[in-house]
Structure 1
Amino acid sequence: MIKRLIFTTSLLSVLIHGQAQIKWPEVNAVTKPWTRWWWMGSAVNPKDLTANMEQYAAVGLGGLEITPIYGVGGYESKFIDYLSPHWMQVFSHTLSEAKRLNMQIDMATGSGWPFGGGPLIGDAEACKNFVYKTWTLKAGETVKEPITFEQQPYIEAIGNTLTEVNNVYPKNAEGEAVVKVLKASEKVKDVSTLAEPVYANKNLQALAIDQLKYKKNLPVQVVMAYGDKGQAIDITANVGTNGNLNWKAPAGNWTVYALFMGWHGKMVERAAPGAEGNAIDHFSEAALKKYLSRFDTAFAGNDLSQLRGFFNDSYEVDDARGQSNYTPGFFTEFKARRGYDLKLFLPQLLAKQRDELSLRILYDYRQTIADLLLDKFTIPWRQWAQSKGKIVRNQSHGSPANILDCYGVVDIPETEGTELLRFKFAVSAAHILGKPLASAEAATWLNEHFKTSLGDVKTAIDKYFIGGVNHIVYHGTAYSPMNDQWPGWLFYAAVHFQPIHPFWQHFGTLNNYVTRCQSFLQSGKPDNDVLLYFPFSDHNSEPGRDLLHHYDGMKGFENTDFNKVAEELLQKGYAFDFISDKQLEQVTMNGALLKAPGGNYRTIVLANTKYLPLTTWQKLAALAKDGARIIVYKNLPGGVPGYSQLETRQKQFADITAALKFSAEGALQKAITGKGMFIKGDDIGQLLTAGEVKPEPMYELGLQCIRRKLIDGNYYFISNTSNEAVNKWVPLGRKATSAIVFEPMQQESGIARTRIVKGVTEVYVQLQPGESCVLQTSGTTLKGNAYKYYNIGGSASEIKGTWTLRFMMGGPDLPKTATMTKLASWTEVPDPLGKVFSGTAQYSIHFAKPAGTAPAYALDLGKVAHSAEVVLNGKSLATVLGPIYRVTIPASQLKADNVLEVNVTNGMTNRIIALEQEGVSWKKFYNVNFPARLPENRDANGLFTAAKWQPETSGLLGPVTITPLK
């Protein structure tokens, strides 16, 4: 295991003679959540770096991923060129401070995205595409015009660079006026006005170029002549230096194809100063090495010991116009990998109407591109990092490769988004290949700017946990000078995990929760039952609008049985991972179980797969002979993909299929082969039962879970995703004798109530909607303090009287203290500052202890906007984030007369509304500046505006009730 990859492996309960030590796992920098740390313009300084990092460490962040990005208006003189000696000085200071603060650091291997690019990347290393021309000839004719192709100029720049706002330019912290930069209407549209290469131009931050093509003649790559009798002649050598073709068509009708190498023109998007320029050719190892040499030079002589590793954001080259779909030497690579010369089949590759042959040629082309992205970029990048003793964290999605394989060769696969099946790709690679961590770019664009609460973030994170993620990286936090005017520096697409955000007061509560959950989820091993085959060959054999398909979650598979089966497995609680052809090669048999490097599985499922590589079909047949149960949903695969040696491969494939002798057993068909079998049918539930796979029965109760295997039991992370409280016996899919309940939000724990009913282990669980817990099960009887379960013991009574509302911290200024006899939003107080206040306010009241002798009471705050700390008689009881705002109070903590203080924090919205209405110029960022997520929130410049918003409800709305428990 890589020495710098810190994770928890120890069991939490030491079982000795039936005794259990109920103990929470130890935490470290990796069990804590991290955040992506935007260095805007890299305009950082040691003093503010230290101050920022101390704030981050204080709320429980364990690590930072540094990603330099475009700059802030007014700070141009403080921009630091990326990887310059000055940049390395502030970077080294950051590493030193991280060590002092017990934090870790990752850095993006680049600025902005896509990975790789900038001033070192010239024409030779820049991303490429190909274009072509055709001519039709008859016998004796030649192409009369020169074989040339002139690339036409094209520029695409970000539409929202820094602009004047109400004719007032923002000012920096020193009061200096921002230097005027380009408005959207002034942006460069004539490429001829730009110097070549692009990084020779000044003011690239203001230009904000996304894609750029210069007018130039493209080099010819190959010229082929195809006859109507099936002939194919390479006539490239017949093209003179002036482009004239010295070749006449023989007898028959001919079509001449000429391919030219073009420059795709993708620039590094959102680049920091000193990082602007061409994006690299991801299919060329030479281009990668040239790019990484810049880091080698910058790193020389610097201490990188506190740097954990390097990060790569998703592919995103082809988010621009057209695709990067070519690299020099492609035809040589193709022939070496596919076994035939692609130049003989250009008409089929480029056909507008697809037949079987053209689709097979297209498949081979796509597979070669996929191979190159894996072999020439992803693997060499990781090897480069390993040579420095570092790990790599990678988002493989969005690329034209088999993303399971790209995830599989890195140390930490990373996902993003909100869909569980999207998470599965990164997580599956980690599970199958035994990688301890699977990370997520978490909470990106959960809502419109400033509309996301910590409760919303927790809901998103719980979904990541259910999906198998165990290393949260928030998206994100922008470095901001400590004395910059509120709201400081903000990144354009984030929840804004900033110290200036009012919810920062309660952010530590969320981070402690994440840390406790991840300390369990980074322990043990995956415990899944099903390997669901990823039909990469099926999709790569389908036509499309463009030559290449890009892979990201279930995009492109929406109407397939693969998606249908995955959704059904997910909804019914089957524990499964996706597996690729390459990963399947590493699977062996362990008795009746399938043994992958990362753990054991019970079966493999083919979901109506049409094409399988021959090696995969051979592997499945071999596994079945050794004892595997292979499930075939609906139909057996029909054959092999691709064209090379098609007849030979197809025969071998058919021979394996013919050897399977199916006999009907009810609705299923079974083919015994060796010690195992193939099971075929149209009902996935029946098939899985025949494969001896059962779902987690708690899914029928509205609960979801992820399961980790221990030496003597399991960890279950359980989330109540329903709208109803769960207060009942919950059956488990794994047998156990006893269990411990860990409640990670308030850090409560104890021995759970456990029973066996008809051979099924059941644990008593109490979870409100949105709540979660961790169960640790054991095959041994555990002893220790019992977990405290409470039920309603009487009627609820509302806490009434006069509430005092005191504003504690926030801005723009503190409203006057108010009183109210009925709880309400603080936007309704007489002081007009209440409508614009963002921060923390305290609602306090005296109340008498309820009559009776209940052992504890439930304090329910009712509605809260958005999070609250509950303080009783001067003691902080808990911070609650929602959606349920309830705290259990032991009777011993109640007095005859009690003082209840509820410290409520809202979001940034109301203060932002005030800034907008006052015309304050806080949107002061280069490039895309500060766009809205939703079109209705865009102003005339296309930027975000809250000027028409109404004040957002804030504070304690109640009713606040107290209920006896038993």
Structure 2
Amino acid sequence: MKKLFFIACLLFAIIEAYPQAKWPVITQTAKPWTRWWWEGSAVNKTDLQWSMQQYQQAGLGGLEITPIYGVRGAEQQFIPFLSTQWVSMLEYTLQQAKSFNLGIDLATGTGWPFGGPWVTPTDACKNVNLKTWTLKEGEQLTEKITFTQQPMVRTVSGKPVDIKTLSYPVATNKNLQEYAFDQVRYEKQLPLSLLMAYDEKGNSQDITAKVGTDGTLNWIAPSGNWTLYALFQGWHGKMVERAAPGGEGDVIDHFSLPALQHYLQYFDKAFAGKNLKGIRSFFNDSYEVDDARGQANWTPDMLQVFQQRRGYDLRKELPALYGKDTKEKNTRVLSDYRQTISELLLEKFTTPWHSWAKAKGSLVRNQSHGSPANILDLYGAIDIPETEGTDILRFKFATSTTHVLGKPLASAEAATWLNEHFQSSLGDVKVALDKYFIGGVNHIFYHGTNYTPKNDPWPGWLFYAAVHFHPNNPFWKDFPTLNQYVARCQSFLQAGKPDNDVLMYFPIYDRFAEPGRDLLHHFDGMEGFDNTDFKSSASWMLEHGYAFDLFSDKQLQLVSNKGAGLLSGGNAYQTILLAETKYLPLETLQKLVTLAQNGATILVHKSLPGDVPGYSDLVNRQAAFKQLLARLSFSTANDVQQALVGKGRFVMADDMQQLLSAAKVPQETMAVQGLQCIRRAIPAGKYYFITNTGNQRVDAWVNLATTAEHITVFDPMTGKAGKTMVRKEGGQTAVYLQLNQGESCVLQSTPTADASSPYNYYAVAGNPVKIGGTWKISFLSGGPALPAATTTTQLTSWTTWAGDGLKEFSGTASYTTSFAKPAGKVQDFLLDLGNVQETAEVFLNGKRVTTLIGPVFQVVLPAGSLKDNNQLEIKVTNGMANRIADMDKKGVHWKKFYNTNFPSRLPANRGADGLFTAVNWTPKPAGLTSEVTITPIVYMDKVRIKQPDPSRVIQ
């Protein structure tokens, strides 16, 4: 007994010393979430419960409720937003979500942006209108100082509306779902905010008080030539987009704290006495106030606020604001105006909205992009920054702030418009999600899932974006496979800390200083930074495997030294980079110099910043700025300039590679092999998420910017894991990887050996053998009707076969065949399904093997699972496209939605009525469309991996 106890203790000690590969725990947050459209808020308890059960079974972790426009024919079920009945349905949803372990987020409004029928004209978004006159000495203006706002109506439907038939304000009208207003301006005399007179010598007079109630100016021009500038406060007229019943109305003034407070008080009143503790976070969609005619660029106290913040009187500088002074002064005053708007959006909207949610025990998720502000600072003021789109550099603005400020989650509105409606497969979505992961996102929200009654005729209720993640989509059957993949990936990506090396400065003042067609610029990723070194340098680092985050001037003040390195949000960085920045605030330069004095390396690409931005206290700020720059004494060696500052230095060069090398910034060279990665730091190691974005299979050694000697590989699609082979190359660790195009893996480095089994890499041990002389096909589920069973010896799209109901069928078909076990002694076999349209569930000898969603349709079959004669079944599911096309060709009415009733993404799919149509589509390929093969494989040992034989590697 003692001997057995000793052996057990020894085994336990070995396991402790050499831990096995371990997948992180899958949490509710690690699972993907989805935006849950409540169309018309026409929900009922029975279908809410059924829907949430479907979502839970599909592997979703949570739902973001966004009430949206309604469905025609369901008007009797519409529930006005924030009504007693609506809040009751929300309470019921929160109760049911808890039982299904689903998290719930809630949009702070319907559609977007914030607004509704309770937003009064006082609180609605404003614009400023300019009118000018010229007078000579002794002249008096005969024209009245008035400005008439011209009427204008824009609807999403594009249907003409006579504004004279509308009551004021717009929310008082009936049938607002039918109108689908996007922007409404009534004809009205605008109030005068300011009248200034300027002469050619730069003198100015505020003569606002000399304007009578009828607009008559009681003022005679004194000596000189005078230009009068009149500012009139107007109404931008932006309406809530895609508003739900009870949510239609004006958008708020985002620069006014009272406007926000009045808006949120309506929620407070509706929520009073209700149990809404289950709301994890409140959500705000992207700004989008100005995706309309003109801009919301004013707030009633703008002149006072500007003077408080900028230290000078904007009333005296209107010529410069409107580009009529010297070029330099124009630039500086305009920059100050934009900075003031940026601060107001942060301090009067984003921060107090966050405080309001926090007081309710909830977080906030925010899409800051698209706003006329420093979006890094807006993201910094909330809990979960959210991005969208398809560009990694765009993602960086949300994810960088998450990293720089030590926030745990960065979310994404994912798969919004991958392709045209009904054209995107789960494999397409997988590839899109991998790009988000590479960009730093670790909290996916699909866009989106419609609430739809269980018994509503197919295709049910749909939203106008192009990927439809709901139970009526045939791919829902295999949706759990994608969700399990996402959950496994995010379980790693939500662990540890970000592991990026470079902090890159966001040169917002360079953009603030650029004139434009309108007063404001809007910030959305790299848009507006074309032909700048900021964009080209960021792109270069991304393409060449350098890990970086962006930071703002405000965020820099929180960065501290850690030896020669830097700390921000508890995360370590190696250096700071400025990419040919023109304007830099004095406080930012002072902080950079302080960091350098304490040991940091500050990298400067091409040239040092040349000046401070803005106009306030310009002479003193410029002098201090130049004095600081003068302290940087550069010497040159090998085309790299260096200025020592205290314990640290500034390094400047024209070549990015030389610049980063001078700072010894590590490079992930796998980029040249078509691989992209992102790292996370964990105790005593790192996580790497790697995806093959190239155009060919990678079957090779891959260098990592780490010196770890032990690497475990995890396949998040299959759940397989094991230790991988490692060797040293140039002081770095190299691992052997096999990744087909579109495949991904996670690596974990550890200081000690992994007791897990080796990860199985393979080489082919024979020629592929075609499977299936004859295939039996039966159609299992889908519609509009199940085609008759058939057989084939040639695998092609079922839409090309003879027979009724095949071209229009969307659903699942079972392919069965038999095959003999290939001869020879081999370890295992590779089953290759070839071209699958669009997902495949594989069964061997009556046992389920796996579900394949693409883009790769291969699976390893253990040799022991094969018999002398084998039964193979493959259940293939296609998408919605063919059935939708058939409905359009037959004139079946399914586009039954208010507001945006079903726009196409591509002009080719737009009908005469302006709506999406698939009437001209040819059937999309479906089913197994190429040969299915099985290939004998052997697993590669250390010798083979060190000297791979290209002829024996699967191409």
Between the aligned partners of 2:730 and 2:201, the Cα distance in structure 1 is 73
State the Cα RMSD in Å: 1.2
Match of 1:761 among 719, 724, 733: 733
Which residue of structure 2 aligns with residue 565 of structure 1?
Answer: 537
* Separation (CA, whole Å) in 2 of partners of 1:738 and 1:608: 40
Offset from partner CA, 1:254-308 (integer Å, 9 cap, x none): 1111111000000111100001000000000100000001110111111112110
1:472 partnered with 2:444: yes
- Asked if structure 1 preserves the Cα contact closer than 8 Å seen for 2:15 and 2:755, the reply is no
Q: Distance in 2 between matches of 1:661 and 1:628?
A: 16
Whether 1:865 aligns to 2:863 is no
Report the CA distance between 1:553 and its aligned residue.
0.7
Q: Deviations over 1:446-476 (max 9, x none)?
A: 0000000000000000000011100000000
Match of 1:323 among 295, 303, 306: 295
Take 2:903 and 2:762, find their aligned partners in 1: how far apart are those partners?
48
SS of the aligned residue for 1:297 comes to helix
Shift of 1:17: 5.2
**Aligned counterpart for 1:700 among listed residues 636, 648, 672:** 672
Taking the aligned partners of 1:383 and 1:21, their CA distance within structure 2 comes to: 44
**Alpha-carbon distance change, 492 to 353 in structure 1, aligned in 2, over 3 angstroms:** farther
Match of 1:123 in 2: 121
Kindly indicate whether residue 715 of structure 2 is the aligned counterpart of residue 776 of structure 1. no
SS at match of 1:376: helix
Q: CA deviation at 1:784?
A: 2.3
Note the alpha carbon deviations across 1:383-410, whole angstroms, 9 max, x for none.
0000001000000000000001101111
Counterpart contact for 1:158–1:208, Cα < 8 Å: yes
- In the alignment, which residue of structure 1 is the partner of 2:458? 486
The question of whether the paired residues in 2 share the 8 Å contact of 1:754 and 1:762 is answered with: yes
- Equivalent of residue 951 in structure 1, options 916, 923, 926: 923
2:736 and 2:802 map into 1 onto residues whose CA distance is 49
- Cα deviation for residue 145 of structure 1 reads 2.1
Partner of 1:749: 721
Give the corresponding residue for 1:85: 84
CA distance in 2, matches of 1:853, 1:717: 36
Whole-Å separation in 1 of the counterparts to 2:326 and 2:89:
56
The DSSP-based 3-state class of the residue aligned with 2:376 is: helix
Letter in 2 for 1:50: Q
Higher mean C-alpha displacement, 826-835 vs 814-823: 826-835
State the Cα distance separating 1:780 from its structure 2 match.
2.2
Q: Secondary structure at the match of 2:929?
A: strand
Deviation digits for residues 892-915 of structure 1 (CA, Å, limit 9, x no counterpart): 100111011111110101101110
Given that 1:512 and 1:745 are in contact with CA atoms closer than 8 Å, whether structure 2 keeps it comes out as: yes
Structure 1 position 353, deviation (Å): 8.0
Provide the rounded CA distance (Å) in 1 between the counterparts of 2:13 and 2:675.
29
Deviations for 1:80-126, whole angstroms, at most 9, x for unmatched residues? 00000000111111111100000000011010111x11111111100
Q: Which residue of 2 aligns with 1:887?
A: 859
For residues 15 and 55 of structure 1, the distance between their equivalents in structure 2, rounded to whole angstroms, comes to 44
Q: Does 1:392 align with 2:364?
A: yes
The amino acid of 1:306's aligned partner reads G
Deviation at 1:510, TM superposition (A): 0.2
User: Residue type of the partner of 1:609?
Assistant: T
User: In the alignment, residue 142 of structure 2 is paired with which amino acid?
Assistant: K
Aligned to 1:686: 658
Aligned pairs for 1:478-517 (under 5 A) are: 478-517=450-489
Give, as a single letter, the amino acid of the residue that structure 1 aligns with 2:617: Q
Please give the per-residue CA displacement for 1:698-727, whole angstroms capped at 9, x wherever unaligned: 112211100000110000001011121112
Q: Is 1:36–1:476's contact at 8 Å kept on the other side of the alignment?
A: yes
Residue 240 of structure 1 and its aligned partner are, at CA, apart by: 1.9
Letter in 1 for 2:429: V
Corresponding letter in the other structure for 2:107: A
| One-letter identity of the residue aligned with 2:450 | A
CA contact (8 A) 1:15 1:21 kept: no
Matches within 5 A, 1:745-894: 745-894=717-866
Equivalents in 2 of 1:512, 1:229: separation in Å?
71
| 2:706 is the counterpart of 1:734 | yes
Aligned to 1:154: 152
The residue aligned with 1:295 is 267
**Aligned residue type for 2:95:** S
Distance 1:148 1:830 in 2: 74
Distance 2:772 2:452 in 1: 43
Q: Which of 571, 578, 601 matches 1:599?
A: 571
Q: 2:631 aligns with which of 659, 665, 678?
A: 659
Aligned counterpart in structure 2 of residue 226 of structure 1, from 180, 188, 198: 198
Aligned to 1:346: 318
Structure 1 residue 242 displacement after superposition: 2.1
Partners of 1:802 and 1:465 lie apart in 2 by 42
- Asked if 1:139 corresponds to 2:137, the answer is yes
- Quote how far apart the aligned CAs of 1:842 are: 1.0
- SS of the equivalent of 1:791 reads strand
Shift of 1:14: 12
Corresponding residue number in structure 1 for 2:69: 70
Task: Tell whether the 8 Å contact from 2:813 to 2:877 is kept in structure 1 after alignment.
Answer: yes
Cα deviation code 1:653-695 (max 9, x no counterpart): 0001111000011111110110111111100110000011021
> Which residue of the partner structure matches residue 27 of structure 1?
26
Q: Aligned AA for 2:66? A: T
**Which residue does 2:110 correspond to in 1?**
111
Equivalent AA in structure 2 for residue 944 of structure 1: F
Letter matched to residue 136 of structure 1: T
Q: CA deviation at 1:757?
A: 3.0
386, 411, 426: which one aligns with 1:454: 426
Correspondence for 1:434 among 406, 415, 430: 406
Partner Cα distance (2:141, 2:553) in 1: 46
Deviates more, 1:24-33 or 1:419-428: 24-33
Query: How far is the alpha carbon of 1:828 from its aligned partner?
Result: 2.3
SS at structure 1 position matched to 2:250: coil
Indicate conservation of the 8 Å contact 1:721/1:770, yes or no: yes
Contact 2:183 2:237 in 1 (8 A): yes
Contact 2:466 2:905 in 1 (8 A): no
The alpha carbon displacement at 1:875 in A equals: 1.1
Counterpart residue number, 2:415? 443
The one-letter amino acid of 1:475's match is: H
Q: Secondary structure at the match of 1:805?
A: strand
How far off is 1:354 after superposition? 6.6
Contact persistence 1:149–1:217 (CA under 8 A): yes
For 2:88, what is the secondary structure of its paired residue? helix
User: Which amino acid in structure 2 is aligned with residue 67 of structure 1?
Assistant: T
For the residue of structure 2 that corresponds to 1:537, the secondary structure is helix
User: Is the Cα–Cα contact under 8 Å of residues 476 and 494 in structure 1 kept in the other structure?
Assistant: no
Q: Which amino acid aligns with 2:52?
A: M
CA contact (8 A) 1:755 1:762 kept: yes
Name the structure 2 match of 1:169: none
**Is the aligned partner of 1:378 residue 2:350?**
yes
Partner SS state of residue 892, structure 1: helix
TM-score relative to the length of structure 2: 0.96
Query: Does residue 1:100 correspond to 2:72, yes or no?
Result: no
Distance in 2 separating the partners of 1:142 and 1:496: 65
Distance 1:153 1:558 in 2: 36
**Separation of aligned partners in 1, 2:319 and 2:328:** 13
Mean alpha-carbon deviation: is it higher for 363-372 or for 151-160? 151-160
Correspondence for 2:170 among 194, 198, 204? 198
Matched residue SS, 1:567: helix
Which of 590, 594, 597 is 1:622 aligned to? 594
Aligned amino acid, residue 39 of structure 1: W
Output the TM-score relative to the length of structure 1.
0.95
1:796-837 residue CA offsets vs partner (Å, 9 max, x unmatched): 111131100110110001000000011111112322201110
Tell me the residue number matched to 2:945.
none
Q: CA deviation at 1:23?
A: 1.7
Q: Is the 8 A contact 2:37 2:449 kept in 1?
A: yes
Runs of 4+ in 1 over 4 A off after TM superposition: 13-17
User: What per-residue deviation string (whole Å, max 9, x for no partner) do you get for residues 485-511 of structure 1?
Assistant: 100100011300010101111100000
Could you list the runs of 5+ residues in structure 2 that have no partner in the other structure?
1-11, 939-955
**Using the alignment, how far apart are the partners of 1:629 and 1:78 within structure 2?**
63
**Rounded Cα–Cα distance in structure 1 between residues aligned with 2:15 and 2:530:** 51
Alpha-carbon separation, structure 2, partners of 1:352 and 1:645: 21
